[in-house]
Amino acid sequence: MQLDSAPPIDYQAMIDTAASALLESAAAYLKPEDVQLLRQAFDVSREAHEGQTRKSGEPYITHPLAVAQMLVDWRMDAQGVAAALLHDVLEDTGVSKPTLTEHFGKTIADLVDGLSKLERLEYQTKEDAQAENFRKMVLAMARDVRVIIVKLADRLHNMRTLDSMREDKRKRIALETLEIYAPIANRIGLNTVYRELQDLAFKHLYPTRYTVLAKAVRAARGNRREIVNKILEAVSQRLAENKIEAVIKGREKNLYSIYKKMQEKNLSFSEVLDIYGFRVVVNDIPSCYLSLGALHSLYKPLPGKFKDYIAIPKGNGYQSLHTTLFGPYGTPVEMQIRTREMNAVAEAGIASHWMYKSGDGSLDTAHQRTHQWLQSILDIQAESDDAIEFFEHIKIDLFPDEVYVFTPKGKILVLPQGSTPVDFAYAVHTDVGHRCIAARVNHALVPLRTVLRNGDSVEVITSTQAKPNPSWLNFVASGRARSCIRSYLKSLQTTEASLLGERLLKQALSALVMTPLAGVDALQDEYMALYGDNLGSFREVLAELGVGKLLPIAVARRLVELAGRKSGESVRVSPIAIRGNESGTIQLATCCSPIPGDEIVGAIAKGQGLIIHRSLCANIRRFDQDKLLEVTWDTQRDRMFAVTVSVMARNERGTLADIASAISGAAANIESVDTQDGSAGEGYIHIHFRLQVSDLVHLDRVLAAVAQLSSVISAKRG
């Protein structure tokens, strides 16, 4: 019997249906001219992505349509939805930003540009590319918060459809989502998106754990239904007795939060009792506190488990009363009590600004808090000139745990958990941080590294003569404080480092050429064009020399070669002589462990100085030719060099002792030994020694001494 194959999917009909549904949903709250704008954006996007498909095989246009539909569900304005429809056209098609500006105006073009990666630029590492793209997106987000809302919808749809990707790519995207995009969603109050991103990332990072935990939660759902219903009934009855109008909902905690609790507290699933929480939504703020009293009279509260986020909202504008109660059978019951407006902010955060146009103060607070955070991002950006450094500072501030402290005038400041008076000082103002010399917490003098707690009153003592201390970087917790301190120290050190670098360069030039090199200043621009490595000026090159990030002899050699080309003379510069005991700017590669006697080559690695490899080392191929320098061993050496030796021998009693004795007899030191039974076959053993030898001749003597042993099959350099 032959089975009929499934009919082909009519993608065009599917796209037309999705587009019609999108425009129909948008028409429910947008003006007719706005709906026409969305129709135009869809047409441009559809044409631009014509012929492109997703990994799943679907036409690419299905993705921007799905992202736009999410935004329409959130009641985003027409410009935001249009940007969602067009968000990939700059990156993946031939459409340019001027073309978008011409058709849709500058605002939409800027939104789309803020959502586009910097694909066309070249970076040394994936980390550099990720950091630069993140910086571009965050700065666009600071100018217009709609950028991040569109980006989160984009990421959410990508995570929902991640199954068609390769496993390694799935894990990379899931990790990035968990570390960056989920915390951003939490930071701007998009709680529903935050939880779903966490669960989807968990599913792809740890599929087995996710499946087992999901199954356990489904089973527990049935087992605990009786308890949940009993609690809902008791709470409803008690609130009604107190004449409080409320909507009570039981909610299941998301899988990732259950998993994190199991990890952090080392619990099995059966020990995690509070997988259910309850939400009480009332009409006004007085009813929140009345409900709290009613619930505390129903079930006893757990000491220390009450938090008032109504009086002191979270940094993202979230407001609610939190309390944990002893429920039936000793089950801990987590309760959240809030108004309808607070509930809107808790679910949608900054997106509630578009979803609910009631003019309620809670919604305005969410919007205001988000803009304060975005302004702090701009401040950090102003202090950080390095994209990776900026990326790290922002990641610090994305962690959700916060501490609430008071200024002497009673103003509340929200700081990351673990913050100190120095973090507080920089949160007040950069100059206050720079001039900070002492602090009082709750009117008592404390060390600057004191960790602040909720409710502390903090007063900073300043001096006009003070300046930031580098040791503060060891204990500050906020990205803002860290970036301000680093920026100040850099500006202070750059001048001194440049002067030192200039002296070191002159010494290196005089060591290379007998007569002073004329016209070095005129060669600086040419040097920067060829070897600048993204540094802004030759002064920065001098500063890098001064702090030891660049090797003076390497820069000097480049300048001498450039001078020779300019004069038309053939300049032969002697190789750099390596003694092996130089400062941290010259290192011996651990991958190939070069020793005197080996043919060697120097590779300039950004931020690491000159790395010496054996000429045959495979890792040399990773470097461009202009990063390689001719080096040789100095005849004057007074140290030993590390090298790995691999020995295969019969697995007999005393074999290891005999080999060690032979190595010692050849005047070599043993740093470490690693044995691998059975890896060489039954009855044999592989032993890896890390030795200290003086040069290649010495190594040959050691290998010969070991090879002479009757139990040894082979001895060679590892």
Active site residues: 91-92
Which of 639, 654, 652, 537 minimizes the C-alpha distance to 595? 639
Tell me, letter by letter, the H, E, C secondary structure of 623-647. CCHHHEEEEEECCCCCCCEEEEEEE
Report the alpha-carbon distance of residue 422 to residue 407 in Å, rounded: 13
Residue 509 makes CB contacts below 8 A (sequence gap 6+) with: 516, 517, 520, 556, 559, 560
Which of 70, 315, 84 minimizes the C-alpha distance to 188? 315
Tokens encoding 338: 């809030």
CA dihedral 70, 73, 76, 81 (to 10 degrees): 40
What kind and span of H or E run contains 678?
Answer: none
For residues 384 and 488, is the Cβ–Cβ distance under 8 A? Answer: no
Report the alpha-carbon distance of residue 550 to residue 559 in Å, rounded: 14
Across-strand partners of 274?
Answer: none
For residues 375 and 142, is the Cβ–Cβ distance under 8 A? Answer: yes
Report the alpha-carbon distance of residue 187 to residue 271 in Å, rounded: 30
Residue 116 makes CB contacts below 8 A (sequence gap 6+) with: 87, 88, 90, 91
Tokens encoding 463: 């001096």
Across-strand partners of 673?
Answer: 689
Q: What are phi and psi of 115, to 5 degrees?
A: -90, -5
Tokens encoding 310: 């109504």
Pairing of strands 609-614, 586-588: parallel
Report the alpha-carbon distance of residue 452 to residue 458 in Å, rounded: 9
What kind and span of H or E run contains 271?
Answer: none
Across-strand partners of 252?
Answer: 276
Tokens encoding 409: 């005038």
For residues 202 and 416, is the Cβ–Cβ distance under 8 A? Answer: no
End-to-end CA gap in the chain:
63
Residue with tokens 């074999």: 655
Number of neighbouring beta carbons within 10 Å of residue 128: 18
Buried b (16+ CB within 10 A) or exposed e, 620-638: beebeeebebebebeeeee
Report the alpha-carbon distance of residue 590 to residue 718 in Å, rounded: 12
Across-strand partners of 712?
Answer: 649
Which DSSP letter does residue 181 get? I
Report the alpha-carbon distance of residue 594 to residue 596 in Å, rounded: 7
Report the alpha-carbon distance of residue 570 to residue 593 in Å, rounded: 34
